[in-house]
Amino acid sequence: MKRIPLDNKLVDVVRGDFLLFLIFYRLGITEAYGNLTVRQACIKYKVDVDFCTLVVNSFLDRNYVPEINVENISVDNIMTYLSRLHETYVNEYIREIKEKFISLRQLKSTRTLNMINKIFLKSENNYLLHQNYKLEYVYPYVEKYLKGELNELKDDIYFFIKYEEETYKDECEAEIDDLINLCLAYVPPGRQRESVILLGVLESFKRDVMHYLKIEQLCLFDRVRKLKS
């Protein structure tokens, strides 16, 4: 089981998994690392060390169980981090996947490739509808509830949380895996570089989405369940 070494240099930590470069950036560590350790960077950029530990460890290990008291983490910090993740999906991942499909279709347009593109566009639409519902309705309500500004949890919010944890996570992962498998099976092998890039972006997207849902569960929904019980 991987764990983030707080007193190791950021450079060495990120070399173990380059996607951590994005994780630290979303946390607010936005400049060159130099010789800073993880702990020193958190202090310099005013990043909560416990939250940094939770975020990075949950990214490295999907089965990670926090050793810290998650209830002490600022709700505002959690909302900011999840918002930055969502912006990455919309402005980077989804846009890049679209561009890669367009590039492949221009090189060799096939009925199968067009079909895969349509499946992706449908998945994108479903994902964005789900995310927008969370961002515009669920999260604002959950934020007020966790801050003690609301005394009751609406039934539809509670049932959404149950669906998100018990069903949506698996459905979302399966949908991305299906898209990856379709690309492996039907993307023209003669365009290896473009195909490999597309598959790499899809795999990174899946990993990031699963990370998002893990943070959401640990930092928001588990706390809501505990507060409600």
Look at residue 5 and tell me whether its pLDDT is greater than 60.
Answer: yes
Cα(13)–Cα(11) distance, integer angstroms: 6
Amino acid at 50: D
Cα(44)–Cα(36) distance, integer angstroms: 9
Question: Range of 21's domain?
Answer: 10-60
- Are residues 78 and 49 part of one domain? no
213 domain-assigned: yes
pLDDT tens digits, one per residue of 135-172:
999 999 999 999 999 988 889 999 999 999 889 989 99
Look at residue 190 and tell me whether its pLDDT is greater than 70.
Answer: no
- Are residues 115 and 155 part of one domain? yes
90 domain-assigned: yes
pLDDT tens digits, one per residue of 31-55:
878 899 999 999 999 999 999 999 9
Number of domains forming the structure of the chain? 2
Specify whether the CB–CB gap between 110 and 188 falls below 8 A. Answer: yes
Look at residue 1 and tell me whether its pLDDT is greater than 70.
Answer: no
The three-point CA angle 7-51-4 to 5° equals: 35
